[in-house]
Amino acid sequence: MTRRVYRMTTKVDSRLNSYSPAVLSLFRVVFGLMFTLFGTSKLFDWPIAFGIPTGSWPVWYAGVIELVTGLLITVGLFTRVAAFIASGHMAVAYFWQHQPHALWPIVPPEMGGNGGLDAILFCFAFFLLVFLGPGAYALDTMRTRQRTLSRTRS
């Protein structure tokens, strides 16, 4: 019985592993788009009007970082660098804006928490991309393939 379960899980693992690069790309695109929307909300009041005055410290500048790194992560260009900056940005946002309110991030301040769950999730999602890379469907991957092809031809 144990041997049969082992073989079955091995087949499932190998099957799922073949999809990992594509799923990683999907993960990157979804998190990049969501991050970009936070930036556009702060800078352009779209899709939700945050009402942040231009140049106000630190929120407007946070929006610039979110817009630029979010777009880079979404398309998979300079993914590791952009994800590193975005991850650090979210760590700073958590400790500056959320952690002083309360210890627990899972509920908003009105309920006794600090409302920092989004910052934590973005921080660690982007930290993961720093180490795993952009996935199969990214401009970085295309650039790497083109460089490899040009080296083999010359």
Q: What is the pLDDT of residues 127-148, one digit of tens each?
A: 999 999 999 999 999 999 888 8
Q: What does the domain layout of the chain look like in residue ranges?
A: 17-153
Task: Return d(Cα 145, Cα 10) in angstroms, integer.
Answer: 30
Three-state DSSP at 86 gives: helix
Higher pLDDT, 8 or 98: 98
pLDDT at residue 123 greater than cutoff 80: yes
Please give the Cα distance from 106 to 110 (Å, whole number). 12
Rounded to a whole number of angstroms, the distance between the first and last alpha carbons of the chain is 55
Q: What is the pLDDT of residue 151?
A: 82
pLDDT of res. 5: 64
Compute the average pLDDT of residues 102-118: 92
What average pLDDT does the structure give for the chain? 93
Average pLDDT on 22-45 reads 97
- How many CB atoms are located within 10 Å of the residue 3 CB? 7
Per-residue pLDDT at 56 exceeds 70: yes
Round to whole Å and give the CA distance between 63 and 60.
Answer: 5
Mean pLDDT of 81-110: 94
Q: Of residues 2 and 27, which shows the higher confidence score?
A: 27
In this prediction, residue 1 carries a pLDDT of 54
| pLDDT tops 90 at residue 115 | yes
pLDDT value at residue 97: 93
- Give the pLDDT score at 59: 93
**Model pLDDT for residues 59-78, shown as the tens digit of each residue:** 999 999 999 999 999 999 99
